[in-house]
Each structure stands twice: as C-alpha cells, then as structure tokens.
Amino acid sequence: MSKKKLEVGDAIPKFELKDSNSKLVSIDTIIGSKNIVIYFYPKNETKVCTAQACSFRDNYEEFQDLECEVIGISSDNEESHKNFAKNHNLPFILLSDSANKVRKEFGVPKDMMGLAPGRYTYVVNKEGKIIYIFNSALNAKIHIKKSIEALRSSTYL
C-alpha cells in the first residue's frame, strides 16, 4: 500500500539524510528555527535540474532574508552532490536519498510518464507544517518564484 501524498497543513515527516560532505543532517535541527524549502529533483547535472539549482542559488539571499533554508533532495550519492554543489557554487544543502525513502514518505510521485522521479517543492514553516506545495516537471525555475511568493504571503509563518 502506498503512502498518501502530503498536503498543505500536514507536518513533514522527520528524517535524516547525508549531505554533500557525508554528514548526517536531521530535519529536526532546522525545524523551529527557520522556514524551509525542500525541493525534490530527479538528477544532478541534467539541464532542467541544473537550471533549478542555479535559480535557487541566484535567489538564495532572498530566501535567507525570509529566514528560510533551502534543501535539495535527489537519489544522487553524496559525492555526486559534492561535485554538483562545487560545479555550480550552490550555497544550500543537498541531501542524498539513495533509497528514495524520504521521497516516499512525502508521497512524491514519479513524473507524468512514470520514468523519472518527480519534481516537487514543499514550503514549510518554522513549526514544520507545509504551507505550499508546487510541482512542475519541465519549468523548474518557477519553483523558486512560487516558493518566494508563498513565504511572503503566508499567514502561517
């Protein structure tokens, strides 16, 4: 039986994953102190995923001004994340979900053709509750715009 997709108002599941430096990151260390944008993406160094990551990078200061941490999650391993972050000067957290465990806990489906992992973004308030969910497989840059709009307009922050 598959897990239901998370919805606005739901608390995000607690999880721990390794970052690009093979350090275990617990979401509990961020909840309570910052808002969070968690974005699931298919693969490092692909055209659309790179555009999305670079767009988050280019707007990272604005996310910081909104007391928000950005976290990118894919099934790529820590070494791949390390290289991806270095190649594109990414200042935010990249986590390795090699078993797709966290992706499943969030209920993130595959893309519309069922071939690749889906591209979903969750905007989460400091209490760990989802205030906005967005998905778009092909227009990755819009995830950043939608996330900033949600953070600015939310009454849940």
Span between the terminal Cα atoms of the chain, in Å = 34
What pairing do the DSSP bridges indicate for beta strands 93-96 and 16-19? antiparallel
Q: Residues 49, 70, 94, 150: which is the catalytic one?
A: 49
Q: Identify whether 49 is a catalytic site residue.
A: yes
Local structure of 111: helix, strand or coil: coil
Q: Cα 113 to chain center, whole Å? A: 21
Q: Within a 10 A sphere around the Cβ of 90, how many other Cβ atoms?
A: 20
How far are the Cα atoms of 6, 21, 83, 97 from residue 17, in angstroms, in the given order? 19, 11, 17, 7
Positions marked catalytic: 49
